Structure 1
Amino acid sequence: MKNIIVIVVIFIGIIWLSVYVVNFSSEHLTEPSPTTVNDQLPSDLESQSNNEGAVSITVTPKLSEWILEFEVVMNTHSIELSEDMTKISVLIVNEKEYKPISWEGAGPGGHHREGVLRFKSIVLGPEKLILKIKNIGGVSERLFQWQLN
C-alpha cells in the first residue's frame, strides 16, 4: 500500500511539473507581435508641396491603424493629369520600396486631381518615410520626405 501511495505522489508531481514547465515556456518564449510603422509614427506629419514643372503637388500623410495613406492634390493649367498613380508612386521605408495597394480619388484626366494613395502598414520602425512620384509635368522624380527621429 505504501508503494502505491509513493507512486501516486510521484505521478502527480510529474504531471504538475510538466504543466508548470509547458506554461512557463509558452509565456516566455512567445514572439512579441511585430511593431508596425503606424505604432511608431507621429500622427501630425505635415503636408509637403512640390511646384516643379507644370504641375504642383501637395502630399499629406494620413495614418490609420493598418494602412499608411497619403492625400495627394495635383494642380496644373497646362497639361492633362492622366497618370495611373499606383504605377508612378512608391513608398520607401528603410531603403525598401513598397507599391501602393490603391488610389482612391479622381481618375485620370483634367487639370485638378486629388485622391488618397494607400500602402499596407510596414513592419519595423523607420527613420524616415519617402514618397516618390515619377514623371508628372515634365519632372522625372519628386521626393516627399518625413524625418521621424
Structure 2
Amino acid sequence: MVQSNDVGAVTFEVKWLGEKNGNLQLKVEMNTHSVDLDGYDLGKLALLRDDAGKEYLPVFWDSPTGGHHREGVLTFQITDSENQYFNLIIRDVAGVEERTFHWELGAG
C-alpha cells in the first residue's frame, strides 16, 4: 500500500514493503522542484511508532543522492510481531514539522 503526502514543497510517497530478515522496510520517494533533497537524511529524521507508543529509529537508510528526486529504503528492527499498527513519522523536511503515514496491520 502506497501513501502520499504533498504538504509544503516536497511530495512523499511511502510504500510498505513488509518484513525482510527480521526487519521492517519502507520504500520512500521524495520529489520537488524547489528543494535540494540531498541534505535530508531520513536515517535521522524518521521514526516508527507502534500501537503501544514504542518508537523505533531506522537502522539503515539506503538512498543515493538525487537532487530534486530521491528514493530509498528505510529499515527498522522490530522486536514485537504482535503490533496492530505502525506510524511512520518524518520530521523537519522542507519546512514541514511532521508528516505521518499510518498502516493498520489487523489482528494478530
Give the TM-score normalised by the residue count of structure 1.
Answer: 0.66
Equivalent residue in structure 1 for 2:28, among 45, 60, 72: 72
RMSD (Å) for aligned C-alpha atoms: 1.2
Supply the AA of the counterpart residue of 1:101: V
CA-to-aligned-CA distance 1:35-91 (integer Å, 9 cap, x gap): xxxxxxxxxxx1100000000000001122411000000000001111111110000
Secondary structure of the residue aligned to 1:87 is: helix
What pairs up with 1:9-48 in 2 under 5 angstroms?
46-48=1-3
Secondary structure of the residue aligned to 1:101 is: strand
In the alignment, the residues of structure 2 paired with residue 136 and residue 121 of structure 1 have an alpha-carbon distance, to the nearest angstrom, of 25
* Residue 11 (structure 2) aligns with: 56
In the alignment, the residues of structure 2 paired with residue 125 and residue 144 of structure 1 have an alpha-carbon distance, to the nearest angstrom, of 19
| Structure 1 residue 139 corresponds to structure 2 residue 93 | no
Residue 134 of structure 1 deviates from its aligned partner by: 0.5
Secondary structure of the residue aligned to 1:140 is: strand
2:56, 2:78 within 8 Å by CA — same for their partners in 1?
no
* Structure with the larger strand share: 2
Amino-acid identity (%): 41
Equivalent residue in structure 1 for 2:56, among 95, 98, 120: 98
Flag structure 1 segments of 5+ consecutive residues without an equivalent: 1-45
Supply the AA of the counterpart residue of 2:28: V
Residue 122 of structure 1 deviates from its aligned partner by: 2.6
* Residue 72 (structure 2) aligns with: 115
Q: Pick 1 or 2: higher relative contact order, CA cutoff 8 A, min separation 6.
A: 2
Give the TM-score normalised by the residue count of structure 2.
Answer: 0.89
Residue 121 of structure 1 deviates from its aligned partner by: 2.6
* Structure with the larger helix share: 1
CA-to-aligned-CA distance 1:85-125 (integer Å, 9 cap, x gap): 11100000120111000011223x61000000001133141
Flag structure 2 segments of 5+ consecutive residues without an equivalent: none
* Residue 83 (structure 2) aligns with: 126
Residue 126 of structure 1 deviates from its aligned partner by: 1.1
- Structure of greater Rg: 1
